[in-house]
Chains A and B, each alone.
Chain A
Amino acid sequence: MTLSPAAIEVIPDEPPVNLWREAWRRLRRNRLAVAGLFVIAVLALAAVFGPMLTPYDFLSQDLDARNMGPTLAHWLGTDDLGRDVLSRVIYGARTAFIVAVVVTAIAVVLGVALGAVAGFIGGTLDRAIMWLTDVTMSVPNLLLVVVINASLKPPLAAWMDAQYQATLNPFFRNTVLVDFVLVFGSMALITWPPYARLVRAQVLSIRSRPYVTAARALGLPTITIMRRYVIPNALGPLIVSVSAGLGTAMVLESAFSFLGVGVNPPTPSWGNMIQDGLKVWQHYPHLLAAPALVLGLATVAFNFLGDGLNDALNPRGAK
């Protein structure tokens, strides 16, 4: 094995540019990771430009053409209400990406903050936070989210309704918002512990570095030291987890929609499309196969990319 110069230069004093360029080069050589990246890019574009790409509105019903197999007019066929399946799959990508990105963002912010505090301050606070991660990770997480979702939805919806009655502000009539807020919140609540642990481990090794000691000696407040020196240097390994986390969040979202506690119809989600398809798959297998295949493809892509990133950013573990 030959060491490339850039691999040796990974010491804190160097600007991180070389590391990233080297990692990108390694990533490009990994064919599976590139394929994953490509699939994710296509799906992301579909999610962003969905309304311009879909041949039909995801709600428009053509009752003369119900449960049709794939045709030229409807590439993936139509469902039991005559809605175009391709359009619904594309809008489902929107839901999936919104949920994945927002949930991961909340979980990462929460995890980084708690993990950094735990690692940097230590003591009782550290033990308390780590105990919390233990508890969260030792409960079957799916169950917890479903319980949170199912029990908070009625009161939140009632509260929104009361607000609407009081203010007549149409903002409070948006039931889709309730769904999304609950899904975001409950999912972020169970996905933060791994990030917190990762960041804590990083911070523990960083807090004894000379530049942190120097900042302490200069008399900077703890908050500033953490914000300016500790947290930015602890974020590197997080990239791999975030890539895997996006995929996990996407799967979780569809799992909840499948169980009927996630995003509610008529907002299209791969999960509730799979659930609908499950009822009629004996007669119309395409209604089940289309969303199931796309979801499978997306999760496989995120996993391949995650593994590729892992190898690219940790060259020592690769061989």
Chain B
Amino acid sequence: MLRYVANRFLLWIPSVLLVLLGVYALAFFGAGDPIKLIFLRAPGDVAYDPARIEAIRHTAGLDRPFIVQFGSYLWNLVHGNFGNSLNSGRSVWSMISAAAPVSFQLAVLAILLTALTAVPLGLIAALNQNKRLDYTILGSALFLWAIPPYVAGPLLMVAIITLVPHVSVPYGWGGILDVRIVLPLLVLSLQPIALIVRQTRAAVIEVLSEDFVRTARAKGVPEIVVALKHILRPVLTPVVTQLGLIMITIVNGAIFVELVFGLPGLGRLTVTALTNSDYPVILAITLIGSFLVMISNLLVDVLYPLLDPRAAQSFRAR
């Protein structure tokens, strides 16, 4: 098991190297000279003195060839040094460790909310297949899946403000116990919920025709026990495999949700970094994002044999 995890991690390294190389090259050849970028933002008289720029460039090692600079960036990265922000001069690591808890709490809550609401809803829809309840649930899921968070967020805000009297604008961050978290959490979870409802429904419908379900029903097991004990477990397996996709949806969604609701998390950090061409920050966020997706895919592979012992056989063979 440990060897498998280590293997996967080793396979992930070349992929992330390629991505980092791509973003680094974009920053190097595309965005232009970081020193100039800094100077353009500097106040008045310090701006643009060619001799001084050259001196700074030399001391910062930015006159070295591309591949050397990329190598030294990686070297620093391996030693836990993400570099400094071009914009504020703060270390990227401190910016990220300040913003990450907000996004992390939001993401964990969103995944929990998804699991707690979507699986039961999908189960209910499947047990009432082709009845009105099923159509309502499935229809809403199809509808919600199609609505991007930057549409759902503002529309919900408008609706709440105009419909509910005496409600203040849900803007800002006050921890997970604050009322203001409700709307961003809801908006962030809508698409994952829609996805999982559809997955669960399809999986349950497939399991319903299995022999063991018929046997359980035939021997008079109450319907609720059949649903919870016999159907739910084999259904969880295909649902859990969607974790990677959910993670991507949440990482993407967080950018908009944090922007719309003014949360000081990684998403907003991303947008600020992009508008300022703050490449050290962008590189670090790309790294973290693809690390998250990798981890969730890995988690799926590790959880899979635990949920479905039949898969453990082929797992050991690998």
- Chain A residues within CB distance 8 Å of chain B: 32, 131, 134-135, 138-144, 146-148, 150-152, 154-155, 247, 251, 254-255, 258-261, 271, 274, 277-278, 281-282, 285, 288-289, 292-293, 295-296, 299-300, 302-304, 307
Contacts and interface: CB of A to CB of B under 8 A. Distances in A.
A226 to B, nearest CB: 27
Given A150-B31, A281-B154, 10 more contacts: A134-B15, A135-B19, A139-B290, A142-B255, A151-B31, A255-B150, A258-B256, A278-B260, A281-B158, A282-B169
A314 B34 CA distance: 53
B286 interface: yes
30 contacts: A32-B139, A32-B142, A134-B15, A138-B294, A139-B290, A140-B252, A142-B252, A143-B251, A143-B252, A144-B23, A147-B286, A150-B277, A151-B27, A151-B277, A151-B279, A155-B32, A255-B148, A258-B150, A259-B259, A281-B158, A282-B169, A285-B158, A288-B158, A292-B151, A292-B155, A293-B155, A296-B151, A299-B148, A303-B145, A304-B142
A52 B172 CA distance: 44
A140 B293 contact: yes
Contacts of B155: 288-289, 292-293, 296
A146 B23 CA distance: 11
A207 to B, nearest CB: 26
Nearest to B254: A140
B38 to A, nearest CB: 15
A152 B26 contact: yes
Interface string B253-290: 00110011000000000110011010100100110011
Interface residues of B, number: 49
Given A285-B162, A300-B146, A143 B260 contact: no
Nearest to A259: B271
Contacts of A131: 15
Contacts of B282: 147
Contacts of B169: 282
B274 A146 contact: yes
Interface of B is mostly: helix
B47 interface: no
Contacts of B270: 143, 146
B26 A274 contact: no
Contacts of B225: none
B127 interface: no
Contacts of A155: 29-32
B297 A138 contact: yes
B157 interface: yes
Interface-central residue, A144, A148, A260, by most chain B CB under 10 Å: A144
Contacts of A293: 155
Contact of A143 (B147, B151, B158, B285): B285
Interface string B227-259: 000000000000000001000100110011001
A259 B273 CA distance: 12
Contacts of A295: 148, 151
Nearest to B198: A307
A144 B286 contact: yes
B30 A152 contact: yes
Nearest to A138: B293
Given A147-B282, A289-B155, A300-B146, A260 B23 contact: no
Nearest to B147: A296
Contacts of A260: 275
A150 B270 CA distance: 12
Interface string B128-156: 00000000000100110111101100110
B18 interface: yes
Given A139-B289, A154-B30, A288 B147 contact: no
B148 A154 contact: no
A261 B162 contact: no
B154 A288 contact: yes
Contacts of B255: 142-143, 259
A135 B15 contact: yes
Contacts of A296: 146-147, 151, 155
B23 A147 contact: yes
Interface string B282-306: 1001100110111001000000000
Given A147-B26, A151-B30, A302 B286 contact: no
Contact of A141 (B26, B142, B248, B277): B248
Contacts of A261: 274
A232 to B, nearest CB: 31
A126 B267 CA distance: 35
A293 B159 CA distance: 13
B161 interface: yes
